[in-house]
Amino acid sequence: MTSEAAALRPSRGKGVVITALGVTQILAWGSSYYLLAVLAGPIAADTGWPLSLVVGALSLGVVVAGLASPKIGRLIQDRGGRPVLMGSAVLIAAGQGVLAVSPDVLVYGIGWLLLGLGMGAGLYDAAFATLGRLYGLGGRHAITTMTLFGGFASTVCWPLSAFLVDQLGWRGACATYAAAQVLLAFPIYAFVLPRETAVARPAVDRRGSRDPRQSSRDARAVGLLFVAVATSITISSVISATLSVHLLTILQSRGMELGAAVALGALVGPCQVGARAIEMGLSRFHHPIWTKVASVACVLAGVLGLALDIPMVAIALVFYGAGIGLESIARGTVPLALFGPDRYAELMGRIAFPSLVAQAIAPTIAAIGLQRTGPDETLIAIVVLALVNCAIVALVFLSYRSLRSRSQP
């Protein structure tokens, strides 16, 4: 653990902090990113607004989250995660409150602008940055455990949203979630998360290289390694965002009835959680880069199985679900292991920017592709992306090995 991480070591038990963040992640994801999975239809039916605009507002929110992420990462780096996460609860609550009273599409869009800021400050990337700042390199297990909580967001909140819509209408559901952010999430952040003190960033190269030219070469290599990691995470986000929206359409194009497609698609969620649980048990035995390797390999196997239209589609979806489940962990643990904890929060903000923006626009681009060229060509494009991602991860692995060998005396 670095001296910075040691200075920030919290007094509260790690288990309490992880549980607190896990609970708030379920609520944050379920009442923002996953909100329209249940509410989009009732909103469009009640207001008469076009469904495309109702759902498109989520993409607007995700783009805002991506644009805000670098600044949010720097704030967590400088001030700690507690005040940023408290602010996320306020922003999400404000956005949901605006949705609840929105008289027209313009005000509805403003609500999603606020929700976007709240998502940028309160979803995985901000929580990862918080744990990395609190625990340094020891934050890997905390990140893995927290993603296990997050995997239940849709499981918990989709039925809850359906119940609230049935009892209170969609506006009442939004108002209830806003109250939950204020009365549950905000106090958890305020009273459970430890206060952190600002720590000055190191002014000198910690590697202490005796050759300035060698130090410059290493700095360039680290910069290229960061670009490769960010690119891989962005590609992973594009694949998962595209299939999360269009998987049922692709399965139905194979001749399946809607009910069968839904049943098969439902395999993805449990496989994500199962893969995360296995990773949690095995993480102490391997470097996080192997989690990333397993993730991209499983996703490639899954999408290749879908593209080849293998008879056992369920097997392809098991691999795909496991892969994106592991990706959630690798997204937080690989940058921490490769670049260290000293600037981890800031780096996570920079990584989140292209990832979230791409995640917002990828489903729309894929929809155009599905309409113009069909599902087979769209799946081929996804397979190509998965192959490129495997090549990038191989490059990351080789670059990491090279840098590590150079740093050893």
AA identity, residue 281:
G
**Residue ranges of domains in the chain:** 8-191, 212-407
173-209 pLDDT, tens digit per residue, is 999 999 999 999 999 999 999 887 655 555 444 443 3
Show the tokens assigned to 205: 């190269």
Higher pLDDT, 150 or 187: 187
Residue 19, pLDDT score: 92
Query: Residue 318 — pLDDT band, cuts 50, 70, 90?
Result: very high
Q: Which of 137, 331, 377, 316 is nearest to 231 (CA)?
A: 331
Above 50 in pLDDT, residue 1?
no
Angle between helices 313-339 and 288-307 (to 10 degrees): 150
What local confidence, expressed as pLDDT, does residue 354 receive?
A: 93
Nearest CA to 99 out of 113, 119, 85, 78 is that of: 113
Q: Is the predicted pLDDT of residue 353 greater than 70, yes or no?
A: yes
pLDDT digits (tens, 9 = 90+) for 69-82: 999 999 999 888 89
In the chain, count of helices (H) and strands (E)?
A: 17, 0
Of 11-20, 124-133, 338-347, where does mean pLDDT reach its minimum?
Answer: 11-20
CB 177 within 8 A of CB 118: no
Q: Residue 12 corresponds to which amino acid?
A: R
pTM: 0.84
- Backbone φ, ψ for residue 194 (5° rounding): -75, 150
Confidence of residue 212 (pLDDT cuts 50, 70, 90): very low
Start-to-end Cα distance in the chain: 20
Band of pLDDT at residue 227, cut at 50, 70 and 90: very high
- Class of the CATH domain delimited by 212-407: mainly alpha
Q: Please report the DSSP string for 181-195 in residue order.
A: IIIIIHHHHHHTSPP
Q: Tell me the range of 214-218, 238-242, 366-370 where mean pLDDT is highest.
A: 238-242
Instruction: Indicate if 212-407 has the same CATH topology as 8-191.
Output: yes
For domain 8-191, give the CATH number.
1.20.1250.20
